[in-house]
Amino acid sequence: MRLSVSELSDQSGVSVRTLHYYDEIGLLKPSEVTEAGYRYYDDEAVKLLQQILFFRELDFSLKDIHGILNAPHYDKDEALRRQRELLTLKRDRLEGLIGLLDANLKGECNMEFKNFDTKEIDALRDQYAAEAKAKYGDTEAWSQSQQRAKKFTKADWDRINAEADGIMAGFGKLVGKKAEDPDVQTQVKAWKDHLQRYYYDCTDEIFAGLAAMYVQDERFMKNIDKHGAGTAQLMHEGMLFYVSHR
Note the pLDDT tens digit of each residue in 29-38. Answer: 999 999 888 9
Task: Check: CB of residue 139 under 8 Å from CB of residue 69.
Answer: no
Residue range 30-72, pLDDT digits in tens: 999 998 889 999 999 999 999 999 888 877 788 778 877 876 5
Of 166, 137, 9, nearest in space to 61 by CA: 137
Cα–Cα dist 207/201, whole Å: 10
**pTM attached to this predicted model:** 0.52
Alpha-carbon gap, residue 19 to 51, rounded angstroms = 14
Q: How long, in residues, is the chain?
A: 246
Residues 208, 130 contacting (CB under 8 angstroms): yes
* Domains of the chain, CATH where assigned: 3-57 (1.10.1660.10), 64-135 (no CATH), 138-244 (1.10.490.50)
Q: 65, exposed or middle or buried, with CB in 10 Å at 0-12, 13-18, 19+?
A: buried
CA–CA–CA angle 162, 211, 127 (5° rounding): 160
- 3-class DSSP state of 42: coil
